[in-house]
Structure 1
Amino acid sequence: MAFRGPQVWLWRWRRNPLRRRADAVEAWVLLAAWVVTVLAGVLAGLATAGTVEHGMARERVEWRPSVALLTEQAPGPADSRPATSSSEQVWAKVRWSARDGSAHTGQARVQPGSGVGTPVTVWTDPQGRLVTRPATPSEARTRATLVGGIAGVCAACVPFVAGRAVRSRLESRRIDQWGYEWARFGPLWGGRTRG
């Protein structure tokens, strides 16, 4: 195992007779790659999070609850207790009117065993299509943060991988140069000493 001395910070930027031009180029490439990685990740994450949160805020404004009526008997036995979760509800066909007065039909989650004509609250978009309940502001922030974080990490991977590829290429080139220089000057040092 080769002995390595203490690590010196920023050695590639310090004046040193052993520092080669390739060391300085590699240092600048690494610095640029890290700066672009951080900037790309942060900017992409913030932009994506802002877009997602803005879209969910628009949904909260545009989507409205509507009263729909069951057009068929809901499957399952009738239960007097209200369903506490959507997993305890069943899908059934409902009919509702859009804001412009046009009639629409679709599938919605309802209480098991609900009869024909039972009123159900559904959420609709401005065109009268069924949508899910819009996210609350805290849910929207959480989703925006998660999506923004994922987008930021993905965006940061591109310059990071590119920087690693350039560094690997520079290192390969440096090793080739060492081999060339050793082949050129090695025989000059190869003489035997007499003693």
Structure 2
Amino acid sequence: MRAGRNARKRLWRWRSNPLRRHDDVIEAWIVLAAGAVIAVGGTVAGLVTAHTADEVFARQRAERQPVRAVLVTDAPASGPATWGAGTQARATVRWAAPDGRVRTGPTLVDTGSKAGTGVEVWQDGRGRLTNPPTESTEAAVESAVLAIGAAGAVAALTLGAGALARWRLDRRRIDSWGQEWDLVGPRWGHKTG
């Protein structure tokens, strides 16, 4: 019995009622439309974002290849304290690009490494040094986080637009009540105060 009352209470704007205003019906449609946009639009935005991120990470894994390089200079004995690279320092390496040309460039290597030491570096399809591709597990987590963010953005924008529309309806109702009071108030014949 209690569930039936709650359902009737939530759906009062849809029922025929002499006190129901046109603005109440508009507000009910706004709430319904916002819920549908959040459910459908958020799901679609999340799925599209996850799919796009997965494609980007897969392309990185396909394009980036490890290659053996040789240190041209000695790596400093201690590198600058950077996040995630505390035991590495920047040094110049030489490697063969996919087109066969020999290239040189800076990269992070283990601190204290001597010139002539072989290291593994990653290059893109053009032979430029790059970071290793994102591993599949990490890529799946990042895709999921991006999808949740996209769905959340759709929900936030929709809720904001719905709140703005409801605020405008409230302003319109208040103005209407003020106009009606201006007509009815003087008929009461006395004023307080």
TM tier, smaller: 0.7 to 0.9
Note the 1:42-121 alignment, pairs <5 A: 42-76=43-77, 86-121=85-120
How high is the TM-score relative to the length of structure 2? 0.86
Once the two structures are superposed, residues 46-72 of structure 1 have per-residue CA deviations (whole angstroms, 9 ceiling, x without a partner) of: 111110111101111221100011010
Shift of 1:189: 3.4
Aligned residues: CA RMSD: 2.0
Task: Report the 3-state secondary structure (helix = DSSP H, G, I; strand = E; otherwise coil) of the residue aligned with 1:92.
Answer: strand
2:33 match: 32
1:184 match: 183
In structure 2, distance between residues paired with 1:190 and 1:127: 89
1:10 match: 11
Q: How many residue pairs were aligned?
A: 180
Task: Report the 3-state secondary structure (helix = DSSP H, G, I; strand = E; otherwise coil) of the residue aligned with 2:27.
Answer: helix
Instruction: Name segments (4+ residues, structure 1) moved above 4 Å.
Output: none
Flag structure 1 segments of 5+ consecutive residues without an equivalent: 1-5, 78-84
* Corresponding letter in the other structure for 1:179: G
In structure 2, distance between residues paired with 1:86 and 1:21: 64
Once the two structures are superposed, residues 73-121 of structure 1 have per-residue CA deviations (whole angstroms, 9 ceiling, x without a partner) of: 11107xxxxxxx7421111111111111012222222122211111110
How high is the TM-score relative to the length of structure 1? 0.85
Flag structure 2 segments of 5+ consecutive residues without an equivalent: 1-5, 79-83
In structure 1, distance between residues paired with 2:189 and 2:25: 31
The percent of aligned pairs where both chains have the same amino acid is 43
Shift of 1:191: 6.2
In structure 1, distance between residues paired with 2:111 and 2:185: 87
In structure 2, distance between residues paired with 1:122 and 1:149: 33
* Corresponding letter in the other structure for 1:18: L
Shift of 1:182: 1.5
Task: Report the 3-state secondary structure (helix = DSSP H, G, I; strand = E; otherwise coil) of the residue aligned with 2:86.
Answer: helix
1:173 match: 172
1:82 match: none
* Corresponding letter in the other structure for 2:11: L
2:158 match: 159
* Corresponding letter in the other structure for 2:51: G
Task: Report the 3-state secondary structure (helix = DSSP H, G, I; strand = E; otherwise coil) of the residue aligned with 2:67.
Answer: strand
In structure 2, distance between residues paired with 1:146 and 1:190: 65
Task: Report the 3-state secondary structure (helix = DSSP H, G, I; strand = E; otherwise coil) of the residue aligned with 1:16.
Answer: coil
In structure 2, distance between residues paired with 1:142 and 1:59: 16
Q: Which moved more, 1:107-116 or 1:49-58?
A: 107-116
